[in-house]
Chain A
Amino acid sequence: MDDHDRLELARDKARRAWWRKARASSEIRRTRQEMDQELRRPGERPDPSLAITRRIFLHKSLLAGATAGAATYGWFPLVNTLDLAFGAEAFKFAWVSDNHLYPKNVNTRFVEKATRAVKEVQAMSPPADFLIHGGDLAQLGDPVELDLGSDILKEVKIRKVFIPGEHDWYLDMGAKWQQLFGPPNWTFDHKGVRFVGVDTVSRGPDYWTAKKMTPKERMGHMATLDGSVAGAWAGVGRDQLEWLNRTLSNWPKANPIVIFTHNPLYEYYPPWNFWVRDWREVHEVLKPYSNVTNVHGHTHQVLYNEIGKMRSIGMLATSWTWPYPPEGVPVLTRCKVRVDPGDHFDGVGWSRLTMTAAGKIENQYVMWRKDKDIFADAPWDSGCADNINQILQPRIADREWPYYGAYK
């Protein structure tokens, strides 16, 4: 063994130790694992066909570090594949979300990036069968912002479906958004797959009436990710759970279902509302189905998780990236690389999802920064492992009333 080998070995060891520390167990993770155990019968896996690609194979050291003491099925899907038992036809669809458009004169950067995503979707060859827009088209729910977004999206001529984000909704409680894009939840079948759009944003408990907030103030609190005034706003709700149950009831249990939501359907750092509050009930509804994939936005970061038999993939934003929270990043997530805040194209983009002829879904993040992989390799370059010294506390403004600060 020469010096170089020894150095590599030492680095490898350091990497592994770092990952272990970064992913030390937390309350959130325990809850999630309990839930997972409850939903999954012994020997079950969400689907048998998740492939370890060659690229992932090269990152064996990373793999070993992250799975120590964690789930037994720990690998990092770079390409997410899903078996289709019923010989589906090959097709692609595209996901764009979290554009957070301001009026044109305030922020041109976000307009450029939304436009770029839409152009790239339109240029896909072979074309995508449809585009799912996953919400947060606007920043402050302003009709000017939503109109701007709607205009930009007109560039895409293929079929488009939409679900709302909280930033689209809370100025006028979804009036403008619904006028432009229709109902916030829906379902359709396409080439052997049942697609369902679920609205996770519109059922926030009323935090504004008692405090006599103006619509703008209501929106301001909703737009403050690290604020707590809006409470646990993200949820599916009794009525929609019943709707979901009915919607799926005539679908064969083993046939593929893809659910689009704005927020992830598992508990993931509630202080930033990276979850839906009734995620447990959602999984109760999904329990009989063995082939469910959830694709979500809102978190502006690379995420992968499995709960029960459901797989969950987080999408990139076109606007900016959120950091990973101090705890609760799913063990199965291979984290996004640390991004350079000086490069507006780093860590952001959209997603190309392919249903192959072999009946598998592949997710391909289209991250815009050139010559940089979206996934982290060394922990010190990873968005979820480089902050192991970090301890955070919630903002002070929320702890006093009258409340004295939100985005205006």
Chain B
Amino acid sequence: MKGTRYVLTGVFLGLLVMLASSGTDQALAHKEKHTPDQLKAFEDVFMEQVKIGDLLFHGDGATEKKLRVTLSKTGMACAMCHPFGSDNHPYEFPKFQEQINKFATLRDMINWCIEKPNEGVKIDPDGDAMKALETYIYWSNKGSKLDPGRH
């Protein structure tokens, strides 16, 4: 049920964005002033991802199923070590990540956490679940100072 709702909302917002920008030369899109409706639509698209990410991050089984991912096999959810998305420090990436022993992006680290501590199944680094998780983590840390490379 919720799945249908997400998809429908997504389609609806997509249409809204297209309608709002129709009649505008694509290349010139950003030279036009945005309407409040457009801004609202952009925000809605973003917040929808935040919400999906929030659910995944807090171990919601239904959302995992819908997106066909297994983020954990230990009962542990991301938020159990990262309440409010803390200690994720997304603003420090990319950086050398000791555990992985390589220069890593936030997505690399998300997958490492899924595979190692959570004993789950690595997810598609460009897939919907990854985008949602990344969105939630960035949103949770909104306002933090960007400091890439810091360990």
A positions within 8 Å CB-CB of B: 102, 106-107, 109, 139, 224-227, 271-272, 320-323, 325-326, 340-342, 344, 380, 387, 389-397, 404-408
Contact = CB atoms under 8 A, between A and B. Distances in A.
Given A390-B86, A395-B84, A396-B47, A102 B75 contact: yes
Contacts of B81: 320-323, 341
A387 B87 CA distance: 7
A385 B54 CA distance: 26
Interface in B98-116: 98-99, 113, 116
Contacts of B55: 397, 404-405
Contact of A106 (B74, B145, B147): B74
A325 B87 CA distance: 9
A149 to B, nearest CB: 15
B123 to A, nearest CB: 17
Given A106-B75, A392-B141, A393-B142, 17 more contacts: A107-B74, A325-B83, A387-B86, A389-B89, A389-B145, A390-B86, A390-B141, A391-B141, A392-B144, A393-B140, A396-B139, A397-B58, A404-B55, A405-B55, A405-B60, A408-B60, A408-B62
28 contacts: A106-B74, A107-B74, A139-B75, A224-B58, A227-B58, A272-B84, A320-B80, A323-B81, A323-B82, A323-B86, A323-B87, A325-B83, A341-B81, A389-B91, A390-B91, A391-B142, A391-B144, A392-B86, A392-B141, A392-B144, A396-B50, A404-B2, A405-B55, A405-B60, A406-B58, A406-B60, A407-B58, A408-B61
Nearest to A381: B151
Interface of B: 2, 47, 50-51, 54-55, 58-63, 74-77, 79-87, 89, 91-92, 98-99, 113, 116-117, 139-147, 150-151
B42 to A, nearest CB: 17
Contacts of A395: 54, 58, 79, 84, 140
Contacts of A322: 81, 83
A387 B63 CA distance: 30
A342 B116 contact: yes
A390 B63 CA distance: 28
B54 A224 contact: no
Contacts of A341: 81, 99, 113, 116-117
A392 B89 contact: no
A78 B51 CA distance: 43
Contacts of A408: 59-62
Contacts of B142: 391, 393
B52 to A, nearest CB: 10
B144 A393 contact: no
B35 to A, nearest CB: 25
Contacts of B98: 340
Contacts of B50: 396
Contacts of A225: 79-80, 83
Contacts of B75: 102, 106-107, 139
A85 to B, nearest CB: 41
Given A271-B84, A342-B117, A380-B151, A407 B59 contact: yes
Nearest to B50: A396
A142 B7 CA distance: 35
Contacts of B92: 389
B51 A390 contact: no
Contacts of B99: 340-342
Contacts of A342: 99, 116-117
Contact of B85 (A109, A392, A397, A405): A392
Contacts of A102: 74-75
Contacts of A390: 86, 89, 91, 141, 144
A183 B47 CA distance: 46
Closest 6 CB pairs of A and B: A226-B83, A391-B143, A389-B145, A323-B87, A392-B84, A102-B75
